[in-house]
Amino acid sequence: MSHTSISTAKAPAAIGPYSQAIAFGDAIYTSGMLPIDTEGNLEEGIVAQTHQVLTNLKAVLAKGGFTLEDVVKTK
């Protein structure tokens, strides 16, 4: 079974040798998300940062055809 790299402009680009996410079969594996927007601006405060991380994660999941409802494990 092959894997597919997932990337969207609606979340910050991956910086380094990794992808925003990898789709493998019926699953998607996301990388760590930073609390920055697509312009590279860092949010201030834990509430704003948490909101930005979830916004980024939702965008990456949507690109792969998934939603937060599909998440079964976090780390």
Distances (CA, A) of 42 to 2, 3, 33, 37, 50: 35, 31, 12, 7, 11
**Domain-located, residue 73:** no
**Which pTM was predicted?**
0.88
Residue 59 has pLDDT above 90, yes or no: yes
Q: Are 62 and 14 in contact (CB under 8 A)?
A: no
- Count of domains observed in the chain: 1
Residue 1 has pLDDT above 80, yes or no: no
* Per-residue pLDDT reduced to its tens digit, 40-51: 999 899 999 999
Question: Could you tell me the CATH number of the domain that includes residue 33?
Answer: 3.30.1330.40
Q: Which amino acid is at 33?
A: M
Domain that holds residue 32: 3-68
**Domain-located, residue 13:** yes
